[in-house]
Amino acid sequence: MTLTGWESVFFWIFSIAAIFAGLLTVMARNTIHSALFLISSLVSVAALFILLQAEFIAGVQILVYVGGVMVLFLFVIMLVNVGSEERGNEEIFNRPRQVTASVIFCALLVAVLIGALNTGYAGFERRDESKIHEAAEGRRTRDQDLAKSATGSSRITNDTSRIGNSLYRFASLPFEIASVLLLVAIIGSVMLARTLKQEASVDDVDPDVLRAEAAVDPELAEVQTKPLA
Amino acid sequence: MFTLFIPALVLLFQEANAGPFAVAWQKAQHPDLSKFLVIGALLFIIGVAGVLTRRNIIVIFMSIELILNAANLNFVAMSRYLQDTGNVNAVAGQIFTVFVIVVAAAEAAIGLGIVIALYRNKETILIDEIDILKW
Residue to mutate among B45, B123, B128, with most A CBs inside 10 A, is: B45
Inter-chain touch A124–B33, beta carbons under 8 Å: yes
Q: Are residues A86 and A106 in the same domain?
A: no
Mutating which of B55, B112, B128 best tests the A interface, going by the most A Cβ atoms within 10 A? Answer: B112
HEC profile for B54-94?
A: ECEHHHHHHHHHHHHHHHHHHHHHHHHHHHHCCCCCCCHHH
Q: What is the CATH number for B125?
A: 1.10.287.3510
Residues B111 and B86 in one domain: yes
Q: How many domains does chain B have?
A: 2
Residue B47 to residue A22, Cβ atoms within 8 A: yes
Least confident of A141-150, A188-197, B74-83: A141-150
- Distance (Å) from the C-alpha of residue A141 to the closest C-alpha of chain B? 14
Each residue's pLDDT tens digit, A57-84: 999 999 999 999 999 999 999 888 777 7
Residue A34: predicted pLDDT: 93
Q: What average pLDDT does range A190-202 have in this prediction?
A: 82
Residues of B in contact with A124 (CB under 8 A): 33
**Domain contains B135:** no
The answer to whether the pTM exceeds 0.80 is yes
Residue A21 is assigned to a structural domain of this protein:
yes
Same structural domain, A41 and A10: yes
Instruction: Name the residue range of residue B15's domain.
Output: 1-30
Domain count of the fold of chain A: 2
| B45 → closest Cβ in A53, A91, A109 | A109
B1 and B62 part of one domain? no
Q: Which has the closest alpha carbon to B58: A199, A92, A90? A: A92
Structural domain span for residue A132: 93-148
Task: Round to whole Å and give the CA distance between A159 and B73.
Answer: 17
Instruction: Say yes or no: B26 contacts chain A, CB-CB below 8 A.
Output: no
